[in-house]
Structure 1
């Protein structure tokens, strides 16, 4: 069956990339396996679907964020090689990581061993600390955006900037729009706060850590809106109740990062990484324990766009 979008991509950039099979698609992008002709390397080619690419705000933000992300050179960040608009197609080419997503891994084997969870979380925190130091906030940290290299097992983070591309356009016409994945969204992001910083990524990574160690999310809800309300106003069950063998200091490091107020979390992702690897580091740095936040009952935030469908590959949309 003919794929009109693929045909359009081939017509626009077929002289630069040999476009292969589709790896996955969702609300924000479509990804193809491709081969860069000149450099003879295999890449993941991510393109905006026409319904988004025709909006100048989304397209321009997509390209700006992709170009910014291309400046990130870190062992735990998926490299972005190039981004451009050609023939009406907004696209970016990035390294194709052979392996699976952390989401796929958890679906396949369940919760992780404590040492493995600690290592993976520290690797992602390291990537986030580096990105934040360069002025880039991910805004959509979740297991499907964490890739696990098949050979080395190392974690690499992908999809910087895609959520922000849609967020900027929607904010032009809608107040209080929440962009991201509801199950991993920080309270301030759920409330549509325009001023989120690296601590929102820290919260999302703590949700991933909670899930990695316990085998379940901090909150369960029947809808995206209900999930966001719980992130804003409810406190999750202590990790110790769900998995008593998790070291208390590790559980406390994650639970602090899940504080409702950004100021009550770890100061930055670099600090979070240090306490994940050595939870005693928090005390050594003189960082006092955060008080447990009191539950609140805020007005319901608006529902975010529906999540993208599950991909059959490790590429995140």
Structure 2
């Protein structure tokens, strides 16, 4: 058993058997994501078996567009934990607007390539959905990353569930998955990817039953509804909306034909690979006029204009600078901290400054005596935004006041 070496910054999600936190790795100066199972979840329980199975499956995998799991263990309190790389990005629906066929294709192409690599390694996802994909920020736009393989299985192994069980998220499950989770193949993942694409284009999923039996019947028997794609109101060249214009809703007959095959009830009638599926979608979106590639793809978040953070203290004349692009800055009395404070009333790892989604943040790391920012006590787990315009901000770590400021120029 080994305690998790990473300090919690803030929660990212919570489930029935565990939770996920954004954490800092002070030794390697980076952000990581850690999943914890609750202590009451027994080590030999079905949830714990699936959890460690996912960790073992992903450990050491280095596939395109699939989050990397780095390590896992069980701590002294009996909690199983798993550490993964941090992906700085947004959910697909926050970036891809309805009717944006170019962006939808970028998602299908990227996720599809990852699926083909997973399938080539004998791994089936079985629960592909928007919550399991993030769009990672890049200087030339974004790229999709599969961030969760929670119920993935090796194709060559027996499934962990019994024949006839339902395992997945109903809105994105294929007909064969409703019938028997144990006997599904790569076509199931491609079906879910097509459902995600439909939802992004229309703003709603193709099937949305009032209850699970109704949803099951639609996936298994109902034809795929024709797309009704909402487009933004027409605008002047200067960007203002034309007077009296309303949102338009258009059909997409070529994408309709694509969806009929991509979501065919019989998996043998669907596309034979994710590459074939993404190419077919691109042709359909262009034919329907739902394709507007940007001249210059922009990153999701603008880069910090002043990425150098300057630290000073009224008690000490020394000024220190750190480039936040090199990673988080941890404050405390531990020798691994980037900014060390000698007071023994401080926690070894007391507070942290980091960037996330283009913003600079300060977080208290569940410290012993707390952190005060601009005169207010911080709540652990709730980071506060820091000024990035050169304004000086005050941090008090128990009895030590520290002034921080974003400044131009290299660190020193």
TM-score for the superposition, normalised by structure 2: 0.57
Q: Distance in 2 between matches of 1:251 and 1:70?
A: 39
Q: Are 1:125 and 2:109 matched, yes or no?
A: no
Q: Distance in 2 between matches of 1:50 and 1:257?
A: 42
* Cα displacement string for residues 147-199 of structure 1 (whole angstroms, at most 9, x for unaligned residues): 0123432111111134669x966x35xx5221111111111111233011111
Residues 108-123 of structure 1: pairs in structure 2 closer than 5 A:
110-123=97-110
Compared CA separation, residues 52 and 260, structure 1 to 2 (3 A): farther
**Does the 8 Å CA contact 1:69/1:161 hold for their aligned counterparts?**
no
Cα offset, 1:35, TM superposition:
1.8
Compared CA separation, residues 241 and 22, structure 1 to 2 (3 A): closer
**Does the 8 Å CA contact 2:111/2:145 hold for their aligned counterparts?**
yes
Q: Residue 264 of structure 1 aligns with which residue?
A: 269
Compared CA separation, residues 189 and 100, structure 1 to 2 (3 A): same
Q: Secondary structure at the match of 1:239?
A: coil
Q: Over alpha carbons, which structure has the higher Rg?
A: 2
**Does the 8 Å CA contact 1:198/1:269 hold for their aligned counterparts?**
no
Residues 64-143 of structure 1: pairs in structure 2 closer than 5 A:
64-87=53-76, 88-105=78-95, 110-143=97-130
Q: Distance in 2 between matches of 1:208 and 1:12?
A: 39
**Does the 8 Å CA contact 2:43/2:49 hold for their aligned counterparts?**
no
Q: Distance in 2 between matches of 1:118 and 1:245?
A: 18
Q: Distance in 1 between matches of 2:93 and 2:16?
A: 18
Unmatched segments (≥5 aa) in structure 1: 1-10, 281-312
Compared CA separation, residues 264 and 164, structure 1 to 2 (3 A): same
Which range moved further: 228-237 or 77-86?
77-86
**Does the 8 Å CA contact 1:209/1:254 hold for their aligned counterparts?**
no
Cα offset, 1:238, TM superposition:
2.2
**Does the 8 Å CA contact 2:2/2:74 hold for their aligned counterparts?**
no
**Does the 8 Å CA contact 1:146/1:156 hold for their aligned counterparts?**
yes
Which range moved further: 258-267 or 222-231?
222-231
Q: Secondary structure at the match of 2:119?
A: helix
Q: Are 1:239 and 2:244 matched, yes or no?
A: no
Compared CA separation, residues 83 and 255, structure 1 to 2 (3 A): farther
Compared CA separation, residues 153 and 28, structure 1 to 2 (3 A): farther
Q: Residue 14 of structure 2 aligns with which residue?
A: 25
Question: In proportion to residue count, which structure has more helix?
Answer: 1
Compared CA separation, residues 18 and 240, structure 1 to 2 (3 A): closer
* Cα displacement string for residues 284-307 of structure 1 (whole angstroms, at most 9, x for unaligned residues): xxxxxxxxxxxxxxxxxxxxxxxx
TM-score for the superposition, normalised by structure 1: 0.73
Q: Secondary structure at the match of 2:183?
A: coil
Q: Distance in 2 between matches of 1:28 and 1:231?
A: 29
Q: Residue 226 of structure 1 aligns with which residue?
A: 214
Compared CA separation, residues 225 and 13, structure 1 to 2 (3 A): farther
Unmatched segments (≥5 aa) in structure 2: 231-248, 286-355, 358-412
Q: Distance in 2 between matches of 1:278 and 1:83?
A: 43
Q: Secondary structure at the match of 2:32?
A: strand
Higher relative contact order (CA 8 A, sep 6+): 1
Cα offset, 1:228, TM superposition:
1.9
Q: Distance in 2 between matches of 1:28 and 1:125?
A: 30
